[in-house]
Amino acid sequence: MPYRYIDDISVADAAIEVNSDTLEGIFIDSGKALTNTMVDDLKSIRTDIEYSFKVESKEIDLLLFEFLEKLVIEKDANQMLFSEFEVKINQTKNNSIISVIAHGEHIDYNRHELCADVKAVTLHKFNLTKEKENWKAEMILDI
Amino acid sequence: MNDIINLVKKKSDTVWEIPISYKQGMNVPVRIYATKQLLKYMDHQVIDQITNVATLPGIINYAYTMPDAHSGYGFPIGGVAAMDLNEGVISPGGIGFDINCGMRLVLTNLTYTDVKPKLRELVDQLYDKVPAGVGGAGFVKVNKSEFKEITEMGSTWCIENGYGWDDDLENTEENGIMKEANSDKISDVAIKRGLKQIGTLGSGNHYLEIQVVKPEYIFDEKAAKAVGIFPNQVVIMFHCGSRGFGHQVASDYLKKFLGVMESKYNIKILDRELACAPFQSQEGQDYFSAMQCAINMSFVNRQTILHRIREVFSNVFKTDAEKLGMSMVYDVAHNTAKVEEHEVDGKNRKMIVHRKGATRAFGPGRAEIPIKYRNVGQPVIIGGSMETGSYLLMGTKEAHKETFASTAHGSGRIMSRTKAKKMFRGETLYKDMLKKGIYVRSVSYSGLAEEAGNAYKDIDDVVDATINAKISKRVVRFIPIGNVKG
């Protein structure tokens, strides 16, 4: 599993660690981890609907934060859950832009085993680092 | 268990202090309200976070934690900090993402004997009428301009639109409307997130509960009578907030503050979640107006949920909600910042009191309390876990001196959600609760397991600590019999 939930970092919420050997992989698996916090089985989410969006930020960690926040907003505004992601990241000296195609569907209370609602991505202990060939993201989602 | 006991200085059996010397930059000491036992359950991050809060500019007297405190973001949950209006800051992290998350307590004139045969029907209908869980959409359909109107009018919008009774306003903190709300200060994204969420519970620890007043759990007959409580009565309690809308307001301004805090105002903080701006700055005032919009939306959310509850009871008992005596006791917030006047060094002083997972607890005599409660104190509603019970307390005069009139808000978690899911099976929990006489409807067994009673501190320990510290007065303990969970 490229991501894991960590006990006892945040008792009321969901603390997650994501590992990948690519930056794109970190974004994809962080997106999946966020959805998995709300739905037990990611495979129960059909990928019929595509949602394309771009996010940009001066800081790469804040780019990840903004990307995840977009998914939370779509869940609240349009009752959408996403389980697959295509991402393309362009990094320049002063800016990073991510182009995303998220695949998912509307929440289905009969098919989706829903868990806790992610209300927000927080900046508390939010971290994106690269050590040797491994990217690691740590985040706490507000439940 | 932890070593926090070694870090704190005992002031009394329920008050502990951490001196300014504990961390560089602290402007005031920390005061922890807890018994020795509760202190042992406290996670270390609470200490780290509340001592960070003590470094914020303009903080008055102490940074406080309440007996149910546990770690949060920036501020701990159960954190209180009052800031000077001119020298101090306002911080979204000190209010919480779920702005005006709060509790509402509603009476009936029904007894347990009346309700028991209809309990399943009531809970099932409540589950259908009050959407809960991930992505739930409410019954109130409004467009963007109507939503903006709601954020400025608060509960008065509900009364005008047939979703409440006139005296609901009197029984809501601030009469259900924050008058300085300005919808020009909220983003389109925030509106987009909140548009479909009016009349929804949410998930996590948000719930709607049918409860019973056991005669042996009426601790203060005078106060209980003042709010309309009698033995064996059935009451309804629910807990929710401003949903995605409030979260977006907080996120929007957290980012804005991060952009100006150091460069424009030379404020250095120890945690990005403590992002803040001077209260009197343009950014600070904009957030204060936007936050009031979220407070109003949350009042509307709880008011429309109350409307649905009255409809359900009326439908099941085939009579008007008025005839069922379904008046509100009170609606009280536990995630806010309010401008209040308190005595400091013998003089009255205006301040902005941040309460994050902490309840305002005005003692008798305060003008802000409804007239009918002015002799007994402000009702304080403390939600326990779905298996244990909840409390009605009252504010005290002592709370003003001790904590700027603040007290606990709930049990406080002691176990993470992932650990709870490993330890408890939702289906077993459901059956065990049924055996205890509690019928629960939840969006999923998984979500139910996360909210198991053993994942929380003992509500009685938390309330005992508030009573012993004299920051609340015990009135009634309620026992759950029916529960809707997100």
Q: What is the pLDDT of residues B195-237, one digit of tens each?
A: 999 999 998 889 999 999 999 999 999 999 999 999 999 999 9
Calculate mean pLDDT across residues A54-69: 95
> Can you read off the two tokens belonging to residue B458?
């003992």
pLDDT for B418: 81
pLDDT higher at B416 or B360? B360
Q: Do A143 and B417 touch (CB under 8 A)?
A: yes
Q: Does A142 touch chain B (CB under 8 A)?
A: yes
Q: Does A77 touch chain B (CB under 8 A)?
A: yes
**Number of CB pairs, chain A paired with chain B, less than 8 A apart:** 126
Report the residue of chain A nearest B99, measured CA to CA. Answer: A119
Q: How far B345 CA lies from chain A's nearest CA (Å)? A: 35
Residue B254 has pLDDT above 70, yes or no: yes
Residue B9 has pLDDT above 60, yes or no: yes
Report the residue of chain A nearest B248, measured CA to CA. Answer: A120
Q: Which DSSP symbol is given to B269? A: -
pLDDT for B1: 56
Q: Does A1 touch chain B (CB under 8 A)?
A: no
Residues 6+ apart with CB under 8 A from B43: A8, A11, B2, B70, B71
The residue among B298, B418, B423 with the most chain A CBs within 10 A of its CB, best to mutate, is: B418
- pLDDT tens sequence across B265-303: 999 998 889 999 999 999 999 999 999 999 999 999 999
pLDDT for A6: 86
Determine the residue type at B130: V
The residue among A123, A128, A139, A141 with the most chain B CBs within 10 A of its CB, best to mutate, is: A123
Q: Which residues of A touch B244 (CB under 8 A)?
A: 72-73, 76-77, 119
Cα–Cα distance, B442 to B447 (Å, whole number): 7
Find residues 80-139 of chain A whose CB sits inside 8 Å of chain B.
81, 107, 109, 113-117, 119-120, 122-124, 126
Residue A114 has pLDDT above 90, yes or no: no
Which residue bears the tokens 């870090």?
A: B7
Residue A7 has pLDDT above 80, yes or no: no
B409 an active-site residue?
A: yes
Q: Do A73 and B72 touch (CB under 8 A)?
A: no
Residue B52 has pLDDT above 70, yes or no: yes
Report the residue of chain A nearest B242, measured CA to CA. Answer: A119
Q: How far B248 CA lies from chain A's nearest CA (Å)? A: 8
Residue A142 region, left (φ>0) first, then alpha (ψ -120 to 50), else beta?
beta
Percentage of chain A lying above the pLDDT 70 cut: 99
pLDDT band for B187, please (50, 70, 90 cuts).
very high
User: Cβ–Cβ contacts within 10 Å for residue B176, how many?
Assistant: 25
> Can you read off the two tokens belonging to residue A56?
């940009």
Q: Which residues of B touch A14 (CB under 8 A)?
A: 417-418
pLDDT band for B412, please (50, 70, 90 cuts).
confident
Report the residue of chain B nearest A139, measured CA to CA. Answer: B73
Q: Do A123 and B413 touch (CB under 8 A)?
A: no
- Full 3-state SS string of A54-118: EEEECCHHHHHHHHHHHHHHHHHHHCEEEEEEEEEEEECCCCEEEEEEEEEEECCCCCCCECCCC
Report the residue of chain A nearest B132, measured CA to CA. Answer: A117
Report the residue of chain B nearest A141, measured CA to CA. Answer: B73
Q: Which residues of B touch A122 (CB under 8 A)?
A: 73, 97, 273
Q: Do A8 and B43 touch (CB under 8 A)?
A: yes
pLDDT band for A46, please (50, 70, 90 cuts).
very high
Helix runs in B83-187, H state only: 112-115, 119-129, 144-153, 155-160, 166-170
Residue A119 has pLDDT above 60, yes or no: yes
Q: Does A59 touch chain B (CB under 8 A)?
A: no
Pick the CATH number of A21-142 from 3.40.30.160, 3.40.190.10, 3.55.10.10, 3.40.50.620: 3.55.10.10
pLDDT for A123: 87
pLDDT for B17: 98
Q: Which residues of A touch B248 (CB under 8 A)?
A: 73
Q: Do A143 and B97 touch (CB under 8 A)?
A: no
- pLDDT tens sequence across B371-396: 999 999 999 999 998 889 999 999 99
Cα–Cα distance, B95 to B355 (Å, whole number): 6
Q: Does A51 touch chain B (CB under 8 A)?
A: no
Residue A103 has pLDDT above 70, yes or no: yes
Q: Do A12 and B415 touch (CB under 8 A)?
A: no
pLDDT higher at B74 or A86? A86
Which ipTM value was assigned to this complex? 0.88
User: Cβ–Cβ contacts within 10 Å for residue B146, how many?
Assistant: 15
Calculate mean pLDDT across residues A80-102: 95
Closest to B273 (Cβ–Cβ): which among A12, A75, A123? A123
Q: Residue B120: helix, strand or coil by DSSP?
A: helix
**Domains of chain B from N-terminus onward:** 4-414+456-485 (3.90.1860.10)
